[in-house]
Structure 1
């Protein structure tokens, strides 16, 4: 798999050596969990190479083995912190090699709202999204694809309900200190889109809210108030 970055200037020339340094760090580092702990994996994916690329993206990190979502989040957090020192903005997409041009979708019975963030600050934006709780949202979570996060509706949402979701997203993004994260929301009808594109096997983490102040992600529980 590769993690692709789309970079927006100014300061692009300052960003490239920073990204190379990050690549070197992640080629050697053992790594640890980010938004959740994953102690089941004994081997931690490493980055074997990185380079400037020609095409729809500007820079890529080439993983030696398929990374966990935790490992990708560690990389994004590192990019957030390092690029904060520049004026560069970026988007990140972690995609299987050969599937760069294929749109990946979550398969559900109703609509899905996909969110794409522009950092620095993507890691912290994802952290905030976990707390969203709407009765019309069946499940939501992080996803490795051209998108960063998804909200799966349990009905066909009205314009007012989509606007309510967008309002919640904006309120949470305003709470992030030191970062001004941009975002885009795209809502797709799962049934209609399934006829247009092949729904691929996605790697994602679903979030469930249990009304007690804690959240459950793939059986790993944590308290948001303890997150740093």
Structure 2
């Protein structure tokens, strides 16, 4: 499958951002770019990146198989990721995943028969302060419970785009892949929303409420080796 002229033009635009002789630095965004067109990183996508950047297919494949955001099988319009790592698991992440899997009738790394929704366990979504969390195309839905997750997925099934808790408005997997490649969101409503909520700044708010300042910090501990050296020097004098 040949890539579209738009993809070739976008690839040239991305590569031009890097210094001469450093084009291989564009590999990560180019992988997102080919994924945007084909729904995953195919053999053709690997070949395109390799030929465009002067790399071997093995070099490109090593990167594409290392990062979990690069998919080797087609992804639906919506990638639903449920965190089941420790913080989320302790607060019900496994129950959230089980409810969504039951609703969709699929398991990890599987896609619904209509090709619209892909489900995956996420090892960590880097939002422990909002646990349990779920993302759809990498947009966050914070502190979800099974009922809340079910409503979100039912909205996707009905053709809706439920508003995320933080970040920009929800878009398709192809659209978010282009944004991850470094290309702008052309939608008028595609403006980033709030990125930080109260759980992320709870410690700061507590410090401000109690009037803590930087001067309240404890004195740094002297490393043992330095203390021993100082003691030896004192004894020598």
On whether the aligned pair clears a TM of 0.5, the verdict is: no
TM-score range relative to shorter protein: under 0.3
Structure having the higher helix fraction is 2
**Bigger Rg, which one:** 2
Q: Choose between structure 1 and 2 for higher RCO, CA contacts under 8 A separated by at least 6 residues.
A: 1
TM-score by length of 1: 0.28
Higher strand share: 1
